[in-house]
Amino acid sequence: MEAIFKIEPKEFNEELFLRLKKLFKGKTVTIAFSTEVDETSYLTMNPVNEEHLLESIAQEPVIRFTPEEFKEKISKL
């Protein structure tokens, strides 16, 4: 059996461990802790990557329209 639990640190308490102990009673378990890194944060950790991403964003065309034009475009979809 394999189970992955995604929880906040504030949820680490005695009750959680007692439930896990009951869930896996009589079995050997492996517990691994990891954190999830936001993709954007990961990519911008390197200053060269961050500069490249910002340059790419700056080169994207800007499209502007009024709320009425937006509603019209949405209605056509």
- Taking the alpha carbons at both ends of the chain, their separation in whole angstroms is 45
Q: How confident is the model at residue 71 (pLDDT cuts 50, 70, 90)?
A: very high
- Identify the pLDDT of residue 35: 82
pLDDT at 69 over 90: yes
Tokens found for residue 19:
């439930």
Q: pLDDT, tens digit, for every residue of 8-53?
A: 889 989 999 899 899 899 999 888 888 888 888 888 889 999 999 9
- Identify the pLDDT of residue 70: 92
Tokens found for residue 7:
């929880």
Query: Alpha-carbon distance 66 to 50, whole Å?
Result: 32
- Identify the pLDDT of residue 26: 94
- Domain residue ranges in the chain: 9-76
In a 13 Å sphere around the CA of 77, the CA atoms on its Cβ side amount to 5
Query: Which residue from 58, 56, 3 is spatially nearest to 31, judged by alpha carbons?
Result: 3
